[in-house]
């Protein structure tokens, strides 16, 4: 028997015991992520806007005239909030005969699954990172989106995740979270410590794609700095945000912008040049083990656990919401939480606009609006 099989055989009962202990102590808070030091438990005061018949508004975008927000949901549609109702704005797939269910991961590759959204401020076009169908664009009137990038260097994009746009240079920065796993397999991607994610640049004029960073552990949210000197990319599994320099003496190099107390999703810049980061969940004991030791996460996948059970352990057994505001230098400025998950949970994006935080979630059937004090 080789050493790998021996380690797996030893790890299975150990992890099974850890999971059993986690279940037994679920109500005690032993494995629950603690409050982040200096945080404010205020997000339970947020207002909810529900999405009837839809779930998973992962990203939010406002058009150049201030309309919206727009959001992509799990059935493949992009919806627009008109102030009273959600109306259908665009789709990325024409094959929608079997796309009536609000949530059906097995159909995402057919129906499309729009994640990151960004408007080009000059053209008014909406650019879409569709997890399965690649980078798309649709005009200001909506409708059927057109594909821009579906493969890079001959390899199909498997998990297109987020984007940001340099409106001045007509450049799009976007991520592909994995070259091994699709979006519906994001749990195995994290638990096996997959490091095949990429940060890329698409030139709208030349239609050329350049790989800026690769070997990333779940490349996720993207945000360009206000002066366009660097672009940020969230590396979810490693619980940090990287900075890739686009200008200056460090051009072409990257460094760690900030280490975070949880799993970062999307990153969004405000008018002042600061950044809001949404944490899918904070780092609990099991989260730390799963994202630090590949044998632990891989062994968890071998247990008879479904998605909900795996997710339960990854997030520490307790729904919650955490939003972190960063300075342009990567210093943590503010942390807002809903510690009990009363109103918001598993958030994926925080967009600051006109004194309010618009907050989305890849798993919930609503968005939140929190009024800043």
**Each residue of 203-234: pLDDT tens digit?**
999 999 999 999 999 999 999 999 999 999 99
DSSP 45: G
C-alpha to C-alpha distance for 221 and 177, rounded to whole angstroms: 10
pLDDT at 27 over 70: no
Is residue 23 pLDDT above 60, yes or no? no
Average pLDDT over residues 47-68: 97
* Strands across the sheet containing 262-269: 40-41, 332-338, 321-326, 275-282, 262-269
Q: What is the per-residue pLDDT for 30? A: 61
Q: Is the pLDDT of residue 17 over 50?
A: no
Looking at residue 313, what is its pLDDT?
Answer: 87
Q: In this model, does residue 85 exceed pLDDT 80?
A: yes
How far is Cα 267 from Cα 288, in angstroms, rounded to an integer? 22
Rounded to a whole number of angstroms, the distance between the first and last alpha carbons of the chain is 62
In the three-class reduction of DSSP (H, G, I as helix; E, B as strand; rest coil), residue 11 is classed as helix
Residue 29 confidence class, pLDDT cut points 50, 70, 90: low
pTM of the model: 0.92
- Phi/psi of residue 11, nearest 5 degrees: -70, -35
Alpha carbons 232 and 254: distance in angstroms, whole number: 9
- What pLDDT is recorded for position 32? 84
In 50-127, alpha helices (H): 108-111
d(CA 198, CA 135) in angstroms, rounded, equals: 14
């Amino acid at each position: 028997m080789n050493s790998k099989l021996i380690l797996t055989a030893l790890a299975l009962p150990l992890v099974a015991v850890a999971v059993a202990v986690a279940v037994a102590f679920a109500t005690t808070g032993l494995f629950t992520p603690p409050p982040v030091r200096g945080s404010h438990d205020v997000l339970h005061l947020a207002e909810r806007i529900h999405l009837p018949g839809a779930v998973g508004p992962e990203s939010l975008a406002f058009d150049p005239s201030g309309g919206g927000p727009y959001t992509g949901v799990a059935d493949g549609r992009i919806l627009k909030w008109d102030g009273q109702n959600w109306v259908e704005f665009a789709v990325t797939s024409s094959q929608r005969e079997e796309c009536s269910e609000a949530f059906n991961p097995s159909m995402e590759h057919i129906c499309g699954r729009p994640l990151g959204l960004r408007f080009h401020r000059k053209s008014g076009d909406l650019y879409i990172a569709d997890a399965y169908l690649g980078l798309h664009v649709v005009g200001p009137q909506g409708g059927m989106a057109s594909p821009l990038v579906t493969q890079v260097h001959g390899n199909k994009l498997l998990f297109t995740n987020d984007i940001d746009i340099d409106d001045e240079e007509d450049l799009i920065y976007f991520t592909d979270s994995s070259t091994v796993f699709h979006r519906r397999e994001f749990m195995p991607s994290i638990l096996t410590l997959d490091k095949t994610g990429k940060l890329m640049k698409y030139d709208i004029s030349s239609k050329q794609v350049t790989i800026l960073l690769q070997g990333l552990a779940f490349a996720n949210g993207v945000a360009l700095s206000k002066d366009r000197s660097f672009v940020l990319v969230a590396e979810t599994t490693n619980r940090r945000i990287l900075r890739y320099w686009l200008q200056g003496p460090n051009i072409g190099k990257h460094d760690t912008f900030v280490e975070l107390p949880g799993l970062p999703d999307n990153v969004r810049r405000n008018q002042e040049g600061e950044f809001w980061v949404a944490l899918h969940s904070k780092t609990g004991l099991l989260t730390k083990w799963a994202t630090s030791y590949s044998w632990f996460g891989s062994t968890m996948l071998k247990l008879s656990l479904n998605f909900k059970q795996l997710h339960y352990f990854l997030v520490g057994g307790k729904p919650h919401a955490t939003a972190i505001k960063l300075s342009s230098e990567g210093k943590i400025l503010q942390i807002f939480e809903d510690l009990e998950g009363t109103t918001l949970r598993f958030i994926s994006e925080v967009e600051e606009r006109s004194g309010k935080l618009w907050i989305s979630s890849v798993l919930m059937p609503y968005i939140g609006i929190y009024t800043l004090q």
